[in-house]
Structure 1
């Protein structure tokens, strides 16, 4: 091990990235809110996705979900109203060479009206009927969404 005050070698600094995603499910109208990643996105450009983002250092994953949802869509949700819909454990990622774990939450109550709050990152924010999930969708979050909608497996390991 290095002496105190020296940096760890890059191989020892690598870690698994913690991510939160939110399925905003309007059960009354049988629709979900999705974002379309921008054309310049470094990962899956122009693909649909859930509101999603990585946890900050020391940030509780429910707070990550609440923060990302508000930053991307303008919607506000109480962390106590989030339910776990699934987990994605993947061994690859643009910013996660050692893999990532995404906690997929469901929000069925929120305040506000959805907007594209990050137009510099996203092409669109739109409601989609639950039976019309787009094909051009980030594969891992699409699988988690479909599993949730069909009461399927809660844990996926796509890419492992």
Structure 2
């Protein structure tokens, strides 16, 4: 069996949809004016994988670092995959694995105020329009049962 790994120059990213099915809300964050990209835009909790780190651990770590919410890796289900041809800090492309979870502990808080202006629950019927395109598409497709893979920047 051959093991496939992302090219070393392709950025590997994890995003997490924390979905409270009882209230039909998701945890979102708004990027601050100091963010590296998409200043002022809404987004999912998302971040880059560290060398040697499994993607599920990236998701758990980034979610906690950004929101204070704790999830177990086994509670994460793959909701969507985004393959981008290029992006900020990823001139050779990126692969984002978007996970969904319905199990967490804690209440969302803004743990990175330099990067985010707010972290909060948002009703799925009131998702802000000023949203990072790739993760907005992934969230919409997750909520509507759409295709689980999207391409960004490919011809």
TM range (shorter): over 0.9
Q: CA deviation at 1:92?
A: 1.3
**Partner Cα distance (2:55, 2:120) in 1:** 24
What 5-or-longer segments of structure 2 have no aligned partner?
1-6
Work out which of the two has the higher radius of gyration on C-alpha atoms and give 1 or 2: 1
What 5-or-longer segments of structure 1 have no aligned partner?
1-12
RMSD of aligned residue pairs (Cα, Å): 1.1
TM-score (norm 1): 0.90
Equivalent of 1:77, from 60, 65, 71?
71
Kindly indicate whether residue 111 of structure 2 is the aligned counterpart of residue 117 of structure 1: yes
User: Equivalent residue for 1:40?
Assistant: 34
**Partner Cα distance (2:144, 2:102) in 1:** 16
TM-score (norm 2): 0.93
Residue aligned with 2:16, SS? strand
Equivalent of 2:126, from 122, 132, 149?
132
| Maintained 8 Å contact 1:14/1:98 | no
**Partner Cα distance (2:110, 2:126) in 1:** 21
Equivalent of 1:16, from 7, 10, 22?
10
**Partner Cα distance (1:112, 1:154) in 2:** 28
Query: What is the aligned length?
Result: 148
**Partner Cα distance (1:32, 1:14) in 2:** 32
Deviations 1:83-129 (A, max 9, x none): 00010000111100001000000011000111001111100001111
